[in-house]
């Protein structure tokens, strides 16, 4: 059987993604330590960038499913000393059952996948963060039911999270209103295939009007730290605050993949307020990725 990878939400069909979300909800509700479908299986995790949630959720998920996860950093492996990606992918995939990578360049993950004989999971690149969207969708389904036909407002940078929301709008069939400064729009190659589901706004309040879900992310992502000041200026009108949430639907949810900067992209009263589901969203990384690991490895 052909190896399946999860590099983008577009690697699974809409039905497969929905089944995966329902499976994640089921796994969360029926925590059974005797259910060990990945007994003896090994996940290699390669991190070029920092992580709390991604590392912890993948490692915990593997252990709870009876398997094991190995953390690999380019600092301590030959990957950091220039061993070709192609060779690394062949070697690593000859010994483990699945590989998760968090890298700067998206191409690193796609190249790795081309030479891997086991499933490769994108744990975040500069372009996409699909695992986070599994958790976000699970959280929305748990709180409000199916997201199909709903309106999501993305306020902030047209970054990896925004790109993954655009792909999610295609796969889960919701409308996505994007408010971001002109110089920080998402890539046309990702926006265009999503068609009329995506609408751009200069004014965050307009984007948030009647939205069922309001989402934001940091103004400077990992690797953009030296642009922090410039970005603070560009984004200062794009904070999600109580005014934004008042424009949204009265029972709208607020999400943020975390880590967050209170007082920058989101006010403390919103992220710590009653509409915020950021901590369920973070916990759901575990459940959603267990469903993903089971889907990819136990086929």
Selection from ligand CP, ligand NVA, none that 52 binds (CB < 5 to 8 A by kind) is ligand CP
For the bound state, the minimum distance from the C-beta of residue 199 to ligand CP, rounded and expressed in Å, comes to 26
- Name the 3-class secondary structure at 135: helix
160: nearest Cα among 193, 194, 184? 184
Which contiguous run of DSSP H or E holds residue 215? strand 213-216
CB of 298 to ligand CP, least distance (A): 24
Choosing from 23, 102, 163, 231, the catalytic residue is 102
64 a catalytic residue:
no
Contact between 219 and 158 (Cβ < 8 Å): no
| Residue of 23, 53, 64, 132 marked catalytic | 132
Burial class (CB in 10 A: 0-12, 13-18, 19+), 21: buried
Contact between 257 and ligand NVA per CB under 6 A: yes
For residue 15, the surrounding DSSP H or E stretch is: helix 14-29
Residue nearest to ligand NVA (CB): 221
Q: Answer yes or no: 257 catalytic.
A: yes
How many Cβ atoms sit within 10 Å of the Cβ of residue 98?
27
Binding residues among 123-182 for ligand CP as defined by CB under 6 A: 124, 132
Task: Kindly report the number of other CB atoms within 10 A of residue 259's CB atom.
Answer: 12
Residue 122 contacts ligand NVA per CB under 6 A: no
- Set 5, 129, 170, 231: catalytic member: 129
Q: How far is the CB of 123 from ligand CP (least distance, A)?
A: 7
In the complex, what is the shortest distance from the CB of residue 60 to ligand CP, in angstroms, rounded to a whole number? Answer: 13
CA 251 from chain center: how many Å?
Answer: 23
User: From CA 67, how far away is CA 69, in angstroms rounded?
Assistant: 7
Rule CB under 6 A: choose which of 43, 257, 278, 296 binds ligand CP: 257
For residue 160, the partner it binds in ligand CP, ligand NVA, none, with Cβ less than 5 to 8 A by kind, is: ligand NVA
Asked if 171 is an active-site residue, the reply is no
Contact set with ligand CP (CB under 6 A): 51-54, 124, 132, 257-258
């Amino acid at each position: 059987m052909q190896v399946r990878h999860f590099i983008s939400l577009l690697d699974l069909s809409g039905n497969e993604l929905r089944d995966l979300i329902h499976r994640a909800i089921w796994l969360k509700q029926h925590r059974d330590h005797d259910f060990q479908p990945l007994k003896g299986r090994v996940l290699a995790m390669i991190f070029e960038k920092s992580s709390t949630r991604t590392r912890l959720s993948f490692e915990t998920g593997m252990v709870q499913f009876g398997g094991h996860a190995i953390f690999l950093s380019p600092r301590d492996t030959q990957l950091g000393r220039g061993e070709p990606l192609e060779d690394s992918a062949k070697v690593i995939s000859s010994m483990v059952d699945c590989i998760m990578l968090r890298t700067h360049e998206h191409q690193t993950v796609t190249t790795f996948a081309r030479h891997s004989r086991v499933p490769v999971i994108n744990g975040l690149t500069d372009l996409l963060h699909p695992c986070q969207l599994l958790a976000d969708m699970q959280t929305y389904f748990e709180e409000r039911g199916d997201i199909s036909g709903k309106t999501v407002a993305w306020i902030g940078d047209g970054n990896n999270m925004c790109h993954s929301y655009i792909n999610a709008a295609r796969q889960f069939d919701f409308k996505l209103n994007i408010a971001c400064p002109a110089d920080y729009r998402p890539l046309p190659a990702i926006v265009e295939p999503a068609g009329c589901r995506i609408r751009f706004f200069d004014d965050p309040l307009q984007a948030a009007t009647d939205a069922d879900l309001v989402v934001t992310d940091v103004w400077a992502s990992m690797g953009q730290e030296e642009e922090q000041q410039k970005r603070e200026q560009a984004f200062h009108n794009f904070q999600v605050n109580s005014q934004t949430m008042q424009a949204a639907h009265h029972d709208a949810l607020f999400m943020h993949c975390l880590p967050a900067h209170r007082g920058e992209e989101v006010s403390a009263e919103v992220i710590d307020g009653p509409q915020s589901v950021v901590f369920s969203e973070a916990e759901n990384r575990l459940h959603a990725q267990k469903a993903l690991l089971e889907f990819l490895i136990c086929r």
